[in-house]
Structure formats: structure tokens, C-alpha cells
Amino acid sequence: MASNITLTWWEEAISNKQEVAASLLAVIFITLAISWYKKTILPSSNDGAGAPPLPPGPKGLPLVGYFPFLGPNLHHEFTKMASRYGPIFKLYLGSKLHIVVNSADLAKVVTGEQDESFANRDPHIAGLAASYNASDVAWAPNNANRRNLRKVLVHEVLSSANLEASRSYRWSEVRNTVKNVYEMIDTPVDINEVSFSTVLNILTNIVWGKGMADGSKHNNLTDEIRKVVTGVVEIAEGLNISDFFPVLARFDLQGVRRKMEGQMKQFDKIFETTIKERTSSKSGLNDKQEGKKDLLEILLELKDHSTSPSINMTQLKALVVDMFLGGTDATAAMVEWAMTEILRNRKVMTKVQDELAEVVGLNNIVEESHLPKLKYLEAVFKETFRLHPPLPFLLPRAPNQNCIVGGYTVPKGTTIFLNVWAIQRDPKHWDSPSKFIPERFLNYEGLDKWDYSGTNSKFFPFGSGRRRCPGVSLGEKMMMHILASLLHSFDWRLSKGDDHDLSDKFGIAMKKKKPLVVIPSQRLTNANLYM
Ligand code: HEM
């Protein structure tokens, strides 16, 4: 995703350019200038007779569009611009037209009434490279392959029965985390790091099983996956000029595609090794003895038996990457944000810990079966999602035909940002919108649902419509279990001199600018509960 947008990207581009001849750049420059002039100054050929105009928006500069005027935190910038240009506005970033939707009413049009037309994505180059050229669910266009693969993900991989079967993986990884934090008592703990590791380990176990015969091989596998996932996130978070000047894409000036393909080669290697291990030594799987199937087995069966729905090897790998990328960063960011808000609000902390004492008990550990009873903690998470949605614009969509939204034309192929960050803070729908008040999710009236289903256009942090997140249930289980355990097992305090900072940083998942580093102390008297 675009981040760190400042004038320095030119410098970066120039320092990274390999052997692109100056004359070539000049030709490109002129081509782009002409195309920019045609698109922004001359009336659009999309307009057709009688078609409504494009939405309002800033003009920007020739070639670079509005780039030079944007700071790194796009969600803040776009929300400010919405107060000037209204609920739907356009801007050119480079040569590409972007349209930002900032109101609940218009979001409902895009993800409800016209969901089918808006169900394509607009993948950036890093996303394409990380998804085997959009062979996955997240970046694929809305075609039969994607629908088939999404069905596999929802009905096979993330079905209630499978989530139930993987419960013990989540349990043992959360217990490991509690044990590790116990060993760090009275020393600083980075909450995002701890949560990220826990989620990554859970997902590794869900995908590959815990059952490699050789335990050290399993640890190596987790380390390898961690390296690839963090590498992929890092590359995807950088700004890639070619995303905004498609004509430059083939030159890969900053080497983004090359670097991402390098990461994917690592991922391929991990895949090949583990699949070989699977097929050569089926009996080496400890989990088989428990009658459990991991995701790799489920997917390999679907691949081998060409049942309906069936998938090929590339889709299989792309699906696993989706799970790692979709699951890790956002879930860890949410645990960090929720913990930050709880620590800033002592009354909230007291209520959360009182609820945990009542539901779980001080001589017990948190189990997944407790989670549905933790209604106040659930409200805390909803309020955290409202204020800090990890994907403030969801994943960008692109219409497959010219559409009309809010009385304006939205041309086919435009990049659409649904500004859920602004919508969930809109004073038209929320009292004291910038205040952290979990109780608003406990004491509501009316017919609207306030859950993660995406049916309420005032609150949809997991997206809405055909492209909403299929990992809600797993994500919710992981983040609730991790945070409930951290808060039940430990008391937490800031290091001396630290403050309750809420600044954020736009990226793959919107994180705290300054990581939350806090100090745990033992809360439960029985030391066995930490083993
Ligand atoms: C707290 C955790 C999570 C958050 C906040 C989150 C959020 C989101 C959001 C906002 C979208 C875009 C929806 C849209 O464009 O309308 C999305 C899509 C997606 N998420 Fe998640 N997600 C989380 C966890 C997960 C997990 C655990 C998985 C998989 C195991 C996952 C897999 C996906 C996939 C595959 C898509 C693409 C769906 C499509 O395009 O059809 N996510 N997620």
C-alpha cells in the first residue's frame, strides 16, 4: 500500500534507477504529460452525452497529480479533504484516477446496491507478485476462479468444523505466549511483536500441522515463514512509483517486483520441502494420530481428487499466502490498539479485568469457551475497530464498468478507496466520535446490527459485500484469546517516562507509530497457571 508519500520518492526513484536511459525517461515524461492533460484538463471521453461529471477534487500538478501535497498518513489526509470536497471526491495520484468514498450512504451504494460492479480489485505490483499474479482470493478479479477459491477458503478451510478442530493449536500457542511473558516479568514487552508471533505460530500450525516428526524442523519452518511474511509485508508497505505510473511498471525502477519475487521463491522452497515431506512420510505426522487434518492436507486432497470445488497448486500456494498476510499483521495490530486504549482508560481496564475474574476466575486460565461470555471485552474490540480500523480504506476496489455514485460518474477501472476510517468517526452517526466508549456497543437501540458482518454501512472494519473478509471468525478468536489471556494473567504498566500515545502509521495494517512496549507483573497467585 502507498505510504511515506513525500517528495523524497523522486530522489529514491533516481537513486534506484538502473539502466533506464535519460532519453527513454524523457519520452515517458512527455507521454505522461499528454495523458495527464487529456485526463484532467480536457473533458473526459468517459463522460458520454449527458453522463454526470466526475466527482469534485483537487487538480494537482501535471504528471504527479496530487502526490506532492499528500503526507504519509493518507487516512488523515483524505478525511480532511472530504470536509472540503464532500462525501465522494477524486484525485490523481500519478497518472491514475482515484476516487475516495467517505460517507455511510455512498459506501452502501458501492458495497450493496452496486457491489457486483465494484467487486474487482486494483492490485498493486507488490500485491500481484505476492499472490502469484492474483491467483488468490484477495487480489483476484471477480471471476469464477476467485469465487471458487473463496468457497474453498470459507467452506473448507475456515468452516466452523475446521476452526473447532484447530482449537488446540490456538490454545497451545496462547499458553506458550503466556509462559514466555511470564519469563519477562518486570521487563519491557512489545505487544505487537508478542501478538504477531502468536498469530504466526497459530497460522503455521493450522496450515502445516504441528506434526512434523522432527520438532526442530517444525521450529525451522516457523522461522522461515516468519522471515518471508515479514519480508513480504516490508516490501508491500513501501511506495512503488510504478503503481501510479503504469507505463513505468515494466522497468521495475525500485526493484519492488524483483524483491517480492525473491520472497516468493523462498516461500515456494518452503512449500516444496514440506509437501515432499508429506508425501514421502505420511506416518511422520503426529497429528494424524489425533485424527486431525491440517490445511495442507485439506488443500492437497482438493487438488488431487479434482472434486468440486477443485484448486490447482498455484491457487493452493496463493491461498496460504493470503492467510498469512491477511491474518497476521491485522490481528496483531488490533491486539496492540485494544491494549493501548485499555491502558489509557483505567475504568475500562477495571471493567475488563472484573469481567475476566467473573467469567474465567482468578484460579483459572482463559479458554476459548470463555470468549463468547466476555461481552465487555467484545465491546472494547468493536470500539477499537471503530477508531483504529487496521485497513482504513479496506482493500481498494475497481468497477468493471462506468458507474454512477452520489450523482457522479465513476469510470471503469478507477481505484476506489472506501474510507471506513472517516465513516466510523462521522459525527452524523456517532456521539463524541473521537472518544473511546465501549459501552456504545452494549447499549444500542434500533435495528442496525453492530457486528463484523458488514451489513451496517456505519461500521464495517472487515469490509462489506462480496469482498468482505472471510477470516473474521478466526481473526476474532485469535485476538480475543490473546488479549484476554494477557490481561487476565498480568497487570501491565508503561515504562517510566512513556506516555499513552495514539499516533498511527498508515501501512499494510495501520499500526501504532510508536510500538506499545509495556511491563507485565504477575496477576494470578497460582504460579502453575503460567506453566
Ligand atoms: C483482525 C483480523 C483481520 C482484519 C481486521 C481483516 C480485515 C480485512 C479487510 C478490511 C478486508 C477487505 C474487505 C473488503 O475489501 O471489503 C479483508 C479481506 C480479506 N481477508 Fe481479512 N482481516 C483479518 C483477518 C483475516 C484472516 C485471519 C484471514 C485468513 C485466515 C483473512 C483473509 C482475508 C482475505 C483472503 C481477504 C480478501 C477477501 C476477498 O477479496 O474476497 N483475514 N480482511
- Residue found under cell 477495571: 350
Closest by CA to 482, choosing from 226, 201, 175, is: 175
The dihedral of CA 139, 378, 233, 218: what is its sign? negative
The string of pLDDT tens digits covering residues 116-160 is 999 999 999 999 999 999 999 999 999 999 999 999 999 988 999
pLDDT of residue 46: 47
Query: Cell 511506495 maps to which residue?
Result: 239
C-alpha to C-alpha distances, 156 to 163, 308, 463, 478, nearest whole angstrom: 10, 11, 21, 19
| pLDDT, tens digit (0-9, with 9 covering 90-100), for 31-53 | 555 555 555 544 444 445 688 99
pLDDT of residue 92: 97
Average pLDDT score over residue span 512-527: 96
Q: How far is the CA of 251 from the centre of ligand 1 (A)?
A: 31
Which band of pLDDT confidence, cut at 50, 70 and 90, is reported for residue 497? confident
Of the given ranges (136-145, 192-201, 408-417, 496-505), which has the lowest mean pLDDT? 496-505
Top-confidence residue, 307 or 458: 458
Alpha helices in 281-396 (DSSP H): 286-289, 295-304, 313-344, 346-359, 375-387
Nearest atom (ligand 1) to Cα of 158: 30
**What is the Cα Rg of the chain in Å?**
24
Query: What is the mean predicted confidence (pLDDT) over 334-341?
Result: 98
Q: Whose CA is nearest to atom 16 of ligand 1?
A: 463
**CA atoms in the 13 A half-sphere facing the CB of 28:** 17
> pLDDT (tens digit, 9 = 90+) per residue, 208-264?
876 554 566 667 888 888 899 999 999 998 889 999 998 999 999 999 999 999 999
What percentage of the chain carries pLDDT values higher than 70?
85
Ligand 1 centroid to Cα of residue 197, in Å, is 19
Ligand 1 centre from 246 Cα, in Å?
Answer: 26
Residue with the bigger pLDDT between 299 and 267: it is 267
- With cell 517444525, the residue in question is 218
520 membership: H or E segment, kind and range:
strand 517-522
Contact 116, 123 (CB under 8 A): no
Which of 462, 473, 510, when mutated, tests ligand 1's pocket best, judged by the most ligand atoms within 8 Å of its CB? 462
pLDDT 10s digits, 410-464? 999 999 999 999 999 999 999 999 999 999 999 777 777 899 999 999 999 999 9
Which helix or strand (DSSP H or E) is residue 390 part of? none
Find out whether 162 and 298 touch, Cβ atoms under 8 Å: yes
Mean pLDDT of the chain: 87
pLDDT (0 to 100) of residue 302: 75
Q: Name 35's bridge partners.
A: none
Q: Which amino acid is at 189?
A: V
The continuous run of DSSP H or E covering 105 comes out as helix 104-108
